[in-house]
Amino acid sequence: MLITDIAEMDNRILLGHGSGGQLSHDLISGLFVKYFDNPILKDQTDSAILKIDKDLLAFTTDSFVVDPVFFPGGNIGTLAVAGTVNDLAVSGATPLYLSSSFIIEEGFGMKELETIVRSMAEEAKRAGVMIVTGDTKVVDKGKCDKIFINTSGIGELLKRHKNISSGKEIKTGDKIIVNGSIGDHGMAILAAREFLNLSSDLKSDCACLNLMIRKAMGASPNIKFMRDATRGGLATVLSELTSDREFGLHIDESSIQINEKVKGMCEILGFDPLYVANEGKIVMVVDKDDAESVLDALRADELGRESTVIGEIVDDHPGKAWINTIIGGNRILDMLAGEQLPRIC
């Protein structure tokens, strides 16, 4: 008998769920195919066969190992879909198809897995992408931390957008835009970790940004660069943006939005919010004449409501990002070395 409902399955993941036998089949049809529901996946062929009309493809992959697996504002599943969708979208591509590979620790709860898979399906639907192929492996207890997910994604890219990911067309005077407050994801994750004993109602900003980005791209043909400010935070993206380039950039710290709770937690822990991870924020470089129309388009989307110009591309100090601090001082904005660690005093 083929099991097609999770209610009839074991309540824990067993090694057998990754063996390729009956249990694997039950898991695939009862959970993954059920939720990811699309004709390509339903065929359950060794490879998903995709039809793409455009001449350029964007292709990306990312692995997700977040701890804790469930956090305020999302879970590892929402992150796995949004992360890959956003990597495609910031390259100027329209995300179309995702793969999804699970490495699950023996004993992981079936209900928890279902919640994760359901969130992935919902997030994919919202973003208009299909999860068309996947894999499941189960490892011995202690050989991985609960669940790891890898997603790869394919998107179609118009020729005229091919330089967005490298920022080749950036020039002096272009404006730098961010779509809202920074540091929410990193601090929500940290607060959710039990050992910190901090209670907060902070939520991760984890979200698929492709629809918001599409609106912005519709408003201007002159978006020169986009990148999502994930690990390493806003400062790292800005620092990478100028690294080895013939231009520099200037940021005005007072124009960067930081949630009061994020600010407070960063103060307690000695963190700099500019280096804290985001999962729903992008840095965009736009021709100065189009900055207003792009801002309008971004603000028309729920995820870009608080978009602002935070700075501009300059021709002095090439290769460097500079920040005008909140009290009017100037300093360099550098990449994060290693990880941010709580301070001693």
Interaction between residue 331 and other proteins (CB under 8 A): yes
Is residue 184 within 8 A of residue 259, CB to CB? The reply is yes
We find the least distance from the C-beta atom of residue 234 to other proteins, in angstroms, to be 15
Residue 300: CB minimum distance to other proteins, A = 29
Q: Of the listed pieces 5-13, 26-34, 122-130, 333-341, which binds other proteins according to CB under 8 A?
A: 333-341
Tokens of 90: 């910031």
> Are the C-beta atoms of residues 261 and 187 closer than 8 Å to each other?
yes
Binding residues for other proteins, total number by CB under 8 A:
30
Q: What is the DSSP string of 53-112?
A: -SSEEEEEEEEE--SSSEETTEEHHHHHHHHHHHHHHTTT-EEEEEEEEEEEETT-BHHH
Q: Which CB sits closer to other proteins, 49 or 344?
A: 344
With helix as H, strand as E and coil as C, how does 271-304 read? CCHHHCCCCCCEEEEECHHHHHHHHHHHHCCHHH
Binding flag, residue 329, other proteins (CB under 8 A)? yes
Identify which of residues 76 and 323 has a Cβ nearer to other proteins in the complex.
323
Task: Check binding of 272 to other proteins (CB under 8 A).
Answer: yes
Among 195, 199, 201, 244, binds other proteins (CB under 8 A): 195
The H or E element that residue 111 is part of is: helix 110-127
- Write down the least CB distance from residue 250 to other proteins, Å: 13
260 lies in the site for other proteins, by CB under 8 A: yes
52 binding other proteins? (CB under 8 A) = no
Return the number of the residue (111 or 263) whose C-beta is nearest other proteins. Answer: 263
Q: Least CB distance from residue 260 to other proteins, whole Å?
A: 5
SS3 268: helix
Give 159 or 195: the residue with its C-beta nearer to other proteins. Answer: 195
The pair of structure tokens assigned to 290 is 């189009």
Residue type, 84: T
Query: Is residue 344 a contact point for other proteins (CB under 8 A)?
Result: yes
Partners of 282 in beta bridges:
228
Q: Would you say 208 and 127 are in contact if contact means Cβ atoms under 8 Å apart?
A: yes
The rounded distance, in Å, linking the Cα atoms of 294 and 289 is 10
Chain positions contacting other proteins, by CB under 8 A: 195-197, 254, 260, 263-264, 267, 270, 272, 317, 320, 323-332, 334, 337-338, 341-345
